[in-house]
């Protein structure tokens, strides 16, 4: 891929991707998925499934189509077939499809690897460009550097941010398949495209990827997280909780209104920062620990989570 530095935050990476795929294809529409979240600027916001976020735009959000995410219509329905029909009905309007392999803000829904492969094949079949928004799930959060690697797909465009700087400094990247780089010099620019300190820390962060040590460690600790979440869900049947996500992006979904927020508030009182996921419903208790967290720190955090569930659960 060619590497583009589009600005300081994730939504900049998405806006650059949208602008480029429209320029390359000469088409206007972008397909995103139910429960998606891609950013707060207008182009990215148009792709969001969160009605509260969308309403904040103050204007109609256009040139976007919504397809059902993996599992949205039940386990027996392959939603790629729905997308396939949508693209067949709009052969000259769709420029690209954008997807998160794990929906970080939309409820921690995680796409099956086979579904991702079928999605990639569908896009190729209809000559539509595939954008993977790896801003939250990428940079090692699921174990591999890119979250889509286990699916063995090659997106046309990749969006990265959040963990890429290695230290929380502002940085985002748009990775572009080389033959798609048709930007004219200075055609897409911005004031804060390169934070000098972030370049230094990001370079250092990439040194963690010279071998598979960090990947293996994230996989091992992810199993610890999964086991503890499943144990909590089993022991607190009244929550009706299910475990979602993968890697260091997992959580507990509960259909009981307000419970996830109450658990996160109880965790905060006990010294643990957590947030909810699930869009406007906020019905998922979300775990997103640092990739370099030590075993004892992870165990302590999970113990606080358990205590918080016991304090808040009915």
Which residue intervals of the chain are DSSP H helices?
A: 10-25, 42-45, 51-55, 79-89, 113-125, 196-206, 213-235, 259-269, 295-312
The secondary structure element, H or E, covering residue 174 is strand 173-176
3-state secondary structure of 120: helix
Contact (Cβ atoms closer than 8 angstroms) between residue 9 and residue 171: no
Q: Report the helix count and the strand count for the chain, using DSSP H and E.
A: 9, 11
- Phi, psi torsion values for 60, nearest 5 degrees: -60, 135
Rounded to whole angstroms, how far apart are CA atoms 243 and 74?
A: 17
Domains and CATH numbers, the chain: 2-209 (3.40.640.10), 213-312 (3.90.1150.10)
pLDDT digits (tens, 9 = 90+) for 140-161: 999 999 999 999 999 999 999 9
Question: Does residue 215 surpass a pLDDT of 90?
Answer: yes
Separation between Cα atoms, residue 181 and residue 210, nearest integer Å: 28
- What integer is the mean pLDDT of 183-192? 91
Alpha carbon distance 251, 282 (integer Å): 12
Give the mean pLDDT of the chain.
96
Is it the case that residue 53 has pLDDT exceeding 90? no
CB 243 within 8 A of CB 287: no
Give me the pLDDT at residue 192, please.
85
Between CA 90 and CA 295 the distance in angstroms is 51
* Cα–Cα distance for residue pair 100/131, rounded to 1 Å: 9
Q: Is 181 helix (H, G, I), strand (E, B) or coil?
A: coil
Contact (Cβ atoms closer than 8 angstroms) between residue 107 and residue 279: yes
Which whole number is the average pLDDT over 301-306? 98
The answer, yes or no, to whether residue 167 has pLDDT greater than 90, is no
At 55, the pLDDT band (50, 70, 90 cuts) reads: confident
**pLDDT value at residue 193:** 83
Helix (H, G, I), strand (E, B) or coil at 157: strand
DSSP per position, 184-215: PTTSS--TTS--HHHHHHHHHHHGGGSSSHHH
Per DSSP, the three-state class of 20 is helix
Where do the H-state alpha helices sit in 91-195? 113-125
91: pLDDT strictly greater than 90: no
Stated pTM of the model = 0.96
In angstroms, the CA 108 to CA 250 distance is: 7
Q: Is 63 exposed, middle or buried (0-12, 13-18, 19+ CB in 10 A)?
A: middle
pLDDT of res. 279: 85
Are the C-beta atoms of 32 and 38 separated by less than 8 Å? yes
Q: Please state the rounded mean pLDDT for residues 47-70.
A: 91
What are the C-alpha distances in Å from 160 to residues 8, 9, 94, 109, 172?
A: 11, 9, 23, 19, 6
224-275: per-residue pLDDT in tens? 999 999 999 999 999 999 999 999 999 999 999 999 999 999 999 999 999 9
């Amino acid at each position: 891929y060619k590497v583009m530095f589009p600005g300081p935050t994730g939504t900049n990476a998405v806006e650059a991707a949208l602008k480029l795929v429209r320029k390359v294809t000469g088409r206007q529409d972008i397909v995103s998925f139910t429960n998606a979240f891609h950013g707060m600027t207008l182009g990215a916001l148009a792709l969001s499934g969160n009605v509260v976020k969308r309403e904040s735009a103050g204007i109609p959000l256009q040139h976007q189509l919504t397809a059902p995410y993996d599992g949205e219509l039940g386990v027996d329905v392959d939603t790629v077939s729905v997308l396939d029909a949508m693209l067949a009905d709009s052969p000259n309007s769709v420029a690209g499809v954008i997807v998160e392999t794990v929906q970080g803000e939309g409820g921690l829904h995680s796409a099956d690897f086979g579904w991702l492969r079928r999605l990639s094949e569908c896009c190729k079949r209809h000559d539509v460009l595939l954008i993977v928004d790896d801003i939250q799930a990428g940079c090692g959060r699921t174990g591999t550097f890119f979250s889509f690697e286990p699916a063995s797909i090659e997106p046309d465009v990749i969006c990265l941010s959040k963990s890429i700087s290695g230290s929380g400094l502002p940085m985002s990247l748009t990775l572009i398949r080389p033959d798609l780089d048709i930007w004219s010099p200075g055609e897409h620019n911005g004031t804060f495209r390169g934070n000098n300190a972030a370049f230094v820390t990001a370079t250092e962060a990439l040194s963690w990827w010279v071998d598979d040590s960090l990947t293996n460690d994230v996989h091992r600790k992810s199993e610890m997280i999964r086991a503890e979440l499943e144990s909590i869900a089993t022991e607190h049947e009244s929550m009706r909780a299910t475990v979602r996500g993968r890697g260091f992006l997992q959580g507990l979904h509960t259909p009981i209104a307000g419970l996830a927020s109450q658990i996160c508030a109880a965790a905060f009182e006990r010294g643990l920062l957590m947030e909810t996921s699930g869009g406007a419903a906020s019905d998922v208790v979300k775990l997103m620990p640092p990739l370099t967290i030590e075993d004892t720190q992870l165990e302590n955090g999970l113990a606080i989570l358990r205590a918080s569930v016991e304090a808040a659960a009915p």
